[in-house]
């Protein structure tokens, strides 16, 4: 592949593996689930990590919902703008 083709794909966002935040969260959940703590300190740290990850997931879901609402509002505004012309 030529450099020009790679640059063109980059500019057009082609060939990029789009991973959402939930993909990363799931990966972290699997990693945490497979860790076997050896001490009480490690158990507490893992419990804290699980709680933090749960909160991150909750906030990501909330942000995603808000983003969808904003996209819908933007579409309505764009449609009303084009109708007014």
- Please tell me the predicted confidence (pLDDT) of residue 84: 76
**What pTM was computed for the model?**
0.67
pLDDT by residue (tens digit) across 43-79? 999 999 999 999 999 999 999 999 999 999 999 999 9
- Please tell me the predicted confidence (pLDDT) of residue 8: 66
H-assigned helices in 1-85: 3-11, 21-34, 40-84
Could you tell me the pLDDT band of residue 37, with boundaries at 50, 70 and 90?
very high
| 37-44 average pLDDT score | 97
Residue 1 has pLDDT above 60, yes or no: no
Q: What's the structural domain count of the chain?
A: 1
pLDDT by residue (tens digit) across 10-25? 666 654 455 788 999 9
Domain that holds residue 43: 3-84
Question: Do 60 and 22 touch, CB atoms closer than 8 A?
Answer: yes
């Amino acid at each position: 592949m030529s450099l020009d083709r790679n640059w063109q794909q980059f500019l057009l966002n082609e060939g990029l593996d789009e991973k959402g935040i939930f993909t990363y969260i799931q990966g972290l959940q699997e990693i945490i689930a497979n860790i076997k703590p050896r001490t009480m300190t490690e158990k507490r740290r893992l419990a804290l990590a699980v709680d933090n990850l749960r909160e991150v997931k909750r906030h990501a879901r909330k942000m995603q919902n808000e983003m969808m609402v904003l996209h819908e509002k933007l579409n309505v505004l764009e449609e009303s703008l084009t109708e007014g012309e």
